[in-house]
Amino acid sequence: MNYKLSKREQFLLKSLGIIGLVAFVFFMETKLIDGINQSRNNLFQSLDKFNQTKQSLAQLKDYEQNIKNAPQAIKFETFLRQEQLNFIKDGNEYALKQLEESAVIKILNYCEEQRMSPASFQLSYETDGVSLSIALDD
């Protein structure tokens, strides 16, 4: 049985096909846009997490740097106490008297290792030993 479609039926089928095609393209476009939006949101969430981690790391590094860069006077005073050296402190000036040469060398090596930059440095030799006066600029 051969059925011929009338022009009206052909027009309706073509119109229905075109409408279906447009609806399919619209549906695919919507799906694609939703995927892009979801990807963008995931990217922003990852970026926020990264920024928080980066900020935490920067805070930790800053904290570590603050610990490393403790005032020179505190570090120097701790060193003198550990070495059991007698000293007189006047502000940021340390006076050490009756030192042996080995103690002076230890102090100078410590200053060099810690990259200390004293404001003034006086070394004198007396009959009872070496005298050392160091003023730190903190």
Q: Which pLDDT band, with edges at 50, 70 and 90, does 30 fall under?
A: very high
Residue 83 resides in a domain = yes
pLDDT for 42 equals 96
Q: Does one domain contain both 63 and 103?
A: no
Q: Does one domain contain both 81 and 131?
A: yes
Backbone phi and psi for residue 128, each to the nearest 5 degrees, phi listed first:
-95, 5
Q: Does one domain contain both 26 and 59?
A: yes
More confident residue, 41 or 126: 41
Residue 1 resides in a domain = no
- Radius of gyration in angstroms for the set of CA atoms belonging to the chain, rounded to a whole number: 40
pTM: 0.49
Residue 55 resides in a domain = yes
pLDDT digits (tens, 9 = 90+) for 83-126: 898 888 888 788 998 888 888 889 889 888 887 878 888 888 88
Domain boundary (28, 53, 69) is at 69
Q: Does one domain contain both 84 and 44?
A: no
Q: Which two tokens stand for residue 50?
A: 């990264």
Residue 40 resides in a domain = yes
Domain carrying residue 79: 72-136
Q: Does one domain contain both 41 and 20?
A: yes
Q: Does one domain contain both 31 and 64?
A: yes
pLDDT for 40 equals 96
What is the Cα–Cα distance from 32 to 53, expressed in whole angstroms?
31
pLDDT for 2 equals 80
Please give the share of the chain, as a percent, with pLDDT higher than 70: 95
Which residues, in sequence order, are CB contacts of 95 under 8 Å at separation 6+?
A: 87, 88, 89, 131, 132, 133
What is the Cα–Cα distance from 55 to 11, expressed in whole angstroms?
65
Indicate whether 70 pLDDT > 70: no
Residue 61 resides in a domain = yes
Residue 2 resides in a domain = no
Indicate the number of domains in the chain: 2
What is the Cα–Cα distance from 113 to 135, expressed in whole angstroms?
17
